[in-house]
Amino acid sequence: MYDLIVKNGQVVSPSSTVQCDIAVKDGKIAALGKFGDSEADRVIDAAGKYVLPGGVEAHMHCQAPFQGCLGANDFFEQSVSAAYGGVTTFMDFANMGKGDSPFQQALARAEEMKDSAIDFSVHGKFVESTEEAIADIDKMAAYGIPTFKMFMTYKKEGVMSDEETMLRVFYKAKEVGGLPMLHCEDNTIAEANIEECRKKNDMSWVNFAKCKPVLCEAAAFSKAAYLAKYTQCPILVVHTTNEDALNTARRAHAEGQPVYVETGTHYLTLFDDIYEREDGYLAICSPPLRTPEDAKALWKGIEDGTILLTGSDDCTFDVDEKSAFLEKGPDGKWVQDFTKVVNGLSGIEIRLPVLLSEGVQKGRISINKVCALTSTNIAKIYGCYPQKGIIAPGSDADLVIVDMEKEVTLSKDTLHNNISYCLHEGFQVKGYPVMTIARGSVIIENGAFTGEKGAGRFLKRKIAPDYLKQYGLD
Given ligand DUC, Zn ion, none, residue 285, with its beta carbon under 5 to 8 Å by kind, binds: ligand DUC
- Phi, psi for 278 (deg, rounded to 5): -55, -35
Site membership for Zn ion, residue 266 (CB under 5 A): no
Strand partners, 10: 19, 50
> In angstroms, what is the minimal distance from the CB of 342 to ligand DUC?
8
- Residue nearest Zn ion, CB atom distance: 183
Footprint (CB under 5 A) of Zn ion, residues 376-415: none
**Three-class secondary structure of residue 86 per DSSP:** coil
Given Zn ion, ligand DUC, none, residue 344, with its beta carbon under 5 to 8 Å by kind, binds: ligand DUC
Look at strands 235-237 and 259-263 and give their pairing: parallel
Given ligand DUC, Zn ion, none, residue 168, with its beta carbon under 5 to 8 Å by kind, binds: none
Given Zn ion, ligand DUC, none, residue 312, with its beta carbon under 5 to 8 Å by kind, binds: none
Question: Judged by CB under 5 A, how many residues of this single chain contact Zn ion?
Answer: 2
Asked if 218 and 244 touch (Cβ cutoff 8 Å), the reply is yes
Per-residue x/- track, 309-348, Zn ion (CB under 5 A): ----x-----------------------------------
- Phi, psi for 51 (deg, rounded to 5): -120, 120
> In angstroms, what is the minimal distance from the CB of 343 to ligand DUC?
4
| Binding site residues, ligand DUC, CB under 6 A | 61, 66, 183, 285-286, 313, 315, 343-344
> In angstroms, what is the minimal distance from the CB of 462 to ligand DUC?
26
User: Among residues 95, 241, 239, which one has the least CA distance to residue 159?
Assistant: 95
Verify cis geometry, omega within 30 degrees of 0, for the bond prior to 287: yes
Look at strands 448-449 and 441-445 and give their pairing: antiparallel
Footprint (CB under 5 A) of Zn ion, residues 284-313: 313
> In angstroms, what is the minimal distance from the CB of 393 to ligand DUC?
38
Secondary structure letter of residue 344 according to DSSP? -
Look at strands 50-53 and 2-12 and give their pairing: parallel
User: Among residues 105, 86, 84, which one has the least CA distance to residue 94?
Assistant: 105
Choose between 346 and 395: whose C-beta lies nearer to Zn ion. 346
Dihedral-angle region of residue 282 (phi above 0 means left; psi in -120 to 50 means alpha; beta otherwise): alpha
Choose between 183 and 424: whose C-beta lies nearer to Zn ion. 183
Choose between 64 and 302: whose C-beta lies nearer to ligand DUC. 64
Choose between 136 and 262: whose C-beta lies nearer to Zn ion. 262
> In angstroms, what is the minimal distance from the CB of 61 to ligand DUC?
5
How many CA within 13 A on the CB side of residue 188? 5
- The C-alpha atoms of residue 450 and residue 441 are separated, in whole angstroms, by 9
- The C-alpha atoms of residue 341 and residue 209 are separated, in whole angstroms, by 13
Strands (E), 274-317: 309-310
- The C-alpha atoms of residue 455 and residue 178 are separated, in whole angstroms, by 28
Choose between 46 and 60: whose C-beta lies nearer to ligand DUC. 60
- The C-alpha atoms of residue 190 and residue 185 are separated, in whole angstroms, by 8
The stretch near Zn ion (CB under 5 A) out of 1-9, 130-138, 158-166, 181-189 is: 181-189
Choose between 21 and 313: whose C-beta lies nearer to ligand DUC. 313
- The C-alpha atoms of residue 58 and residue 150 are separated, in whole angstroms, by 15
Choose between 156 and 277: whose C-beta lies nearer to Zn ion. 156
> In angstroms, what is the minimal distance from the CB of 348 to Zn ion?
12
The stretch near Zn ion (CB under 5 A) out of 33-41, 177-185, 334-342, 365-373 is: 177-185
Asked if 91 and 114 touch (Cβ cutoff 8 Å), the reply is no
> In angstroms, what is the minimal distance from the CB of 225 to ligand DUC?
18
Choose between 223 and 457: whose C-beta lies nearer to ligand DUC. 223
Choose between 220 and 378: whose C-beta lies nearer to ligand DUC. 220
Given Zn ion, ligand DUC, none, residue 315, with its beta carbon under 5 to 8 Å by kind, binds: ligand DUC
> In angstroms, what is the minimal distance from the CB of 285 to Zn ion?
9
37: how many CB neighbours lie within 10 A of its CB?
Answer: 11
Choose between 72 and 356: whose C-beta lies nearer to ligand DUC. 72
Site membership for Zn ion, residue 183 (CB under 5 A): yes
- The C-alpha atoms of residue 349 and residue 415 are separated, in whole angstroms, by 7
Strand partners, 441: 438
> Under the rule (CB under 5 A), what is the footprint of Zn ion?
183, 313
